[in-house]
């Protein structure tokens, strides 16, 4: 780990002023991903700006929108009564991730900007286009059993490891950010860049922008939501596939549906093809399966991750069917 200076930010403006336009500076929140990557030599900042003292720790209501501060810890978010009541998918997704001790430290904002767990990215001795643009992607021909099947490119097949962000994608959340130009709010769907030929550029916001919070619009009246995650051990593991869904059914027909997929792409994958296929469709397993198949028609699996295609299809059917069923 390279030596670095450490500063505690006294205000959001001051924090942004220190980090913006300084490629060697990073914000320090919970640090559960950043400190890990610094030890691995993947991140080598020369300045850490600790933002944990900033007033971004609250979950607040603003009309029918719920605002989650960027520093709300994962465990507080999952346990928050309003989150559990209104957005079960979000609470479930957070609780499906990491461990109790990590959730106690990891923040909402940090979760959204965490980096891929691809083993070539996290090993500084290997080539990786995301870490070292132009060095190549050994994963495509190498170990990729848990990498992307959707939206990847010849330059990178990494996945985004978050559970929380998958739920936020299904909830049509908006991300609050601030940079030197001031604060703004952008849809989560527009927060991540497609991979393309620059996998090192992951976000659409400017370098040095600070995530300040997340805004959750209300679910349609009568809609239900759920998250289901598949992993290779019973707990404390990253997903090999996950589905977050919001579903509203009337008279046996789908009136509103939002589906987001995890562990399949470089960012939470909003299954818009499947959603379109389901509008006003019967809320039945065959319709869910057809919709999932339609979404997955775009899948480009690699040698060792083709199992994800039927896995995701089955998961979509199972989660939507469960949301239809009586509780």
Partner 1 sequence: MTRTWQAAPSVGHPMARVEGFDKVTGRARYAGDVALPGLAYGWVVPATIPRGRVLHLDVEAALAMPGVLAVLHQENAPRLTDIGEGTLFLFQGDRVPHWGAPVALVIADTPERAREAAERMRVDYLPEPPDCVFRADHPALYEPRFVNPHNETVTEKGDIDGALAAAAVVVDAEYRTPAQHNNAMEPHSTTAVWADGRLTLRTSTQYAYAWSQSLTRLFGFAPGTVRVLSEHVGGGFGNKGNPPRPDSALAVMAATLVGRPVRVTLTRPQLWPLTGYRTPTAQRLRLGADRDGRLVAVEHLAAVQTSRLVEFTEQVTMYSRPMYAAPHLRTGHQVVALDVPTPRWMRAPGEAPGSFGLESAMDELAEACGVDPVELRLRNDTADDPTTGLPFSSRRLADCLRVGADRFGWAGRDPRPAVGRDGRWWRGTGVAGAHYPARTVPSTAHATALPSGEFVVRVAATDIGTGARTALTQLAADALEVPATVVRVLIGDSDFGPAQGAGGSTGTASWSWPVVTACRDLAHRLASGEAVPPHGLTSTFDSTDAVRARHELARYAWGAHFAEVAVDVTTGEVRVPRLTGVYAVGRVVNPLTARSQLLGGMTMGLSTALLEESIMDGRFGDYVNHNLADYHVATNPDVGELDVAVVDDPDDELNPSGVKGLGEIGIVGVPAAIANAVWHATGVRQRELPITPARAAL
Partner 2 sequence: MTVPELDSTVRLMLNGAPREVVVDNRTTLLDLLRDRLDHTGTKKGCDHGQCGACTVLVDGRRANSCLLLAVAVDGREVTTVEGLADDEPHPLQAAFVAHDAFQCGYCTPGQICSAIGMLDELAEGWPSAVTADGRPPSLDDAEIRERMAGNICRCGAYPNIVAAIREVAGGD
Enumerate long-range contacts of 244-247, CB under 8 Å, 24 or more apart: 244/89, 244/93, 244/166, 244/167, 244/169, 244/170, 244/171, 244/268, 245/89, 245/170, 245/316, 245/319, 245/320, 245/323, 246/89, 246/170, 246/171, 246/219, 246/220, 247/223, 247/283, 247/320, 247/323, 247/324
Q: How far is the CB of 5 from partner 2 (least distance, A)?
A: 4
**Count of residues binding partner 1 (CB under 8 A)?**
34
**Residues 43-102 interacting with partner 1 (rule: CB under 8 A):** none
Site membership for partner 1, residue 145 (CB under 8 A): yes
Query: Given the rule CB under 8 A, which of 41-49, 182-190, 305-313, 317-325 is the region that contacts partner 2?
Result: 41-49
**Residues 85-144 interacting with partner 2 (rule: CB under 8 A):** 88, 91-92, 95-96, 98-102, 104-105
Site membership for partner 2, residue 12 (CB under 8 A): no
Site membership for partner 2, residue 17 (CB under 8 A): no
- Options 223, 273, 318, 324; binder of partner 1; rule CB under 8 A: 318
Cβ-based nearer residue to partner 1, 122 or 184: 122
Query: Given the rule CB under 8 A, which of 24-32, 134-142, 208-216, 266-274 is the region that contacts partner 1?
Result: 134-142
Q: How far is the CB of 99 from partner 1 (least distance, A)?
A: 9
Site membership for partner 1, residue 236 (CB under 8 A): yes
Tell me the DSSP string of 3-67: --EEEE-SSHHHHHHHHTT-TTEEEESS-TTHHHHHHTTS---SEEEE-TTSS---EEEETTEEE
What per-residue string of b and e applies to 74-86 under the rule 16 or more CB within 10 Å gives b?
bbbbbebeebeeb
Cβ-based nearer residue to partner 2, 35 or 273: 35
Enumerate long-range contacts of 29-33, CB under 8 Å, 24 or more apart: 29/70, 29/71, 29/107, 29/109, 29/110, 30/73, 30/105, 30/106, 30/107, 30/110, 31/105, 31/110, 32/98, 32/102, 32/105, 32/106, 32/110, 33/106, 33/110, 33/114, 33/115
**Count of residues binding partner 2 (CB under 8 A)?**
39
Site membership for partner 2, residue 20 (CB under 8 A): no
Binds 116, which of partner 1, partner 2, none (CB < 5 to 8 A, cut-off by type)?
none
SS3 140: coil
Binds 79, which of partner 1, partner 2, none (CB < 5 to 8 A, cut-off by type)?
partner 2
Query: Given the rule CB under 8 A, which of 71-79, 132-140, 167-175, 259-267 is the region that contacts partner 2?
Result: 71-79
Q: Are 176 and 66 in contact (CB under 8 A)?
A: no
Q: Which residues bind partner 2 (CB under 8 A)?
A: 1, 3-7, 18, 28, 31-32, 35-36, 38-40, 46-48, 50, 52, 75, 78-79, 84, 88, 91-92, 95-96, 98-102, 104-105, 234-236
Q: Which residues bind partner 1 (CB under 8 A)?
A: 1-3, 41, 117, 119-120, 122-126, 138, 141-143, 145, 230, 232-238, 240-241, 307, 310-311, 314-315, 317-318
């Amino acid at each position: 780990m390279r030596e670095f200076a450490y500063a505690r930010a006294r205000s959001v403006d001051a924090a942004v002023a220190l980090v913006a336009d300084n490629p060697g500076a990073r914000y320090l929140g919970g640090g559960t991903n950043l400190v890990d990557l610094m030890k691995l030599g993947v991140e080598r900042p020369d300045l850490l700006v600790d933002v944990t003292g900033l007033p971004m720790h609250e979950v607040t209501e603003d009309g029918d929108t719920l605002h989650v501060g960027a520093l709300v810890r994962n465990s507080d978010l999952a346990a928050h009564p309003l989150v559990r009541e209104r957005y079960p998918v979000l609470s479930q997704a957070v609780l499906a991730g990491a461990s109790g001790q990590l959730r106690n430290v990891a923040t909402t904002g940090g979760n959204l900007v965490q980096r891929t767990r691809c083993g070539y990215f996290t090993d500084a001795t290997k080539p990786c286009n995301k870490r070292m643009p132009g060095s190549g992607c050994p994963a495509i021909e190498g170990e990729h059993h848990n990498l992307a099947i959707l939206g990847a490119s010849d330059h990178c097949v990494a996945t985004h490891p978050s559970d929380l962000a998958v739920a936020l994608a299904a909830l049509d959340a908006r991300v609050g950010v601030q940079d030197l130009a001031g604060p703004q709010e952008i849809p989560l769907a527009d927060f991540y860049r497609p991979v393309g030929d620059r996998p090192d550029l992951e976000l659409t916001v400017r370098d040095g922008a600070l995530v300040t919070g997340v805004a959750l619009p209300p679910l349609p009246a009568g809609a239900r939501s759920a998250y289901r995650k598949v992993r290779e051990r019973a707990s404390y593991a990253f997903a090999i596939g996950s589905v977050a869904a919001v579903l509203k059914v009337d008279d046996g027909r789908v009136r509103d549906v939002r589906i987001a997929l995890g562990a399949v792409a470089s960012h939470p994958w909003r299954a818009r093809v499947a959603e379109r296929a389901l509008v006003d469709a019967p809320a039945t397993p065959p319709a869910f399966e057809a919709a999932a198949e339609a979404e997955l028609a775009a899948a480009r699996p690699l040698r060792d991750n083709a199992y994800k295609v039927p896995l995701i299809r089955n998961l979509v059917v199972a989660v939507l069917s469960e949301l239809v069923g009586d509780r």
